[in-house]
Amino acid sequence: FDPNADGALSVAGSMKRKYPPWGVTALCKSEVRKKLHIIGDQNASRYIPCHNEIRIEQKAFSMPYEDLRRLYLQHKVYLNLSGSEGFGLTVYEAMKYGEIVVSPRLPAFEGLLDDADVMWVPVEGVGELDPWPYEYIEIFKYNGDALMEAAAKALEMSVEEREKIWCRNLHALQRTVGRSYDKLIKILHEE
């Protein structure tokens, strides 16, 4: 946890589901874009019309973990624009390092982060399907303006507010890992 952290961070690749149009449109209208730092790759900016107003680093898959850890610590807010998550690893990492997480309440998080202190925006159902070679990925629709309002509010939080949330989230992460471990053990022992 860094009390001097500032700005917002988003770690994503170049997949369409990481930059759904409803999130990107709201981002481009919001002042949050001026404080956002995206770690993506060479194609990330193609989904973001206002990419020239956002700091985009093209390093998502080549960045050493220690550099990524330092980035988490330098930012106050983790903004998850994604309309779909496989595991939500970046959300868990951001929570661990004290960032306030602002995210759509995607199905991947159901039952895992129920007791976490996250600024959730509800999903409104499937907005698009993203074709992959082996399946279609559901991209969930959410209110992008509500996501940006939550991010702006999180950026204004005091050090004390952020520190309390960080402590609660460390406990929530431990419980989530414990529940996931219990589920894994149960699966392994089923016949």
Backbone angles phi, psi at 36, to 5 degrees: -95, 140
pLDDT tens track for 50-76: 988 998 887 756 778 888 889 999 999
Distance, in Å, from the CA atom of 91 to the CA atom of 119, rounded to the nearest integer, reads 12
Distance, in Å, from the CA atom of 12 to the CA atom of 32, rounded to the nearest integer, reads 17
Considering the domain boundaries, does residue 1 fall inside one? no
> In angstroms, what CA-CA distances link 167 with 2, 115, 122, 124?
13, 12, 24, 30
Considering the domain boundaries, does residue 3 fall inside one? no
Angle, alpha carbons 51-59-14 (nearest 5°): 55
Instruction: Find the CATH number of the domain harbouring 173.
Output: 3.40.50.2000
pLDDT tens track for 21-53: 999 999 999 999 999 998 887 677 888 899 889
Considering the domain boundaries, does residue 2 fall inside one? no
Considering the domain boundaries, does residue 43 fall inside one? yes
Domain count, the chain: 1
Least confident of 26-30, 43-47, 166-170, 176-180: 176-180
Q: How much is the CA Rg of the chain, to the nearest whole Å?
A: 16
- Domain holding 117, by residue range, is 8-189
Considering the domain boundaries, does residue 52 fall inside one? yes
Average of pLDDT values for 70-91?
90
Considering the domain boundaries, does residue 38 fall inside one? yes
Tokens 């950026």, located at residue: 155
Whether the per-residue pLDDT at 121 is higher than 90: the answer is: yes
Considering the domain boundaries, does residue 58 fall inside one? yes
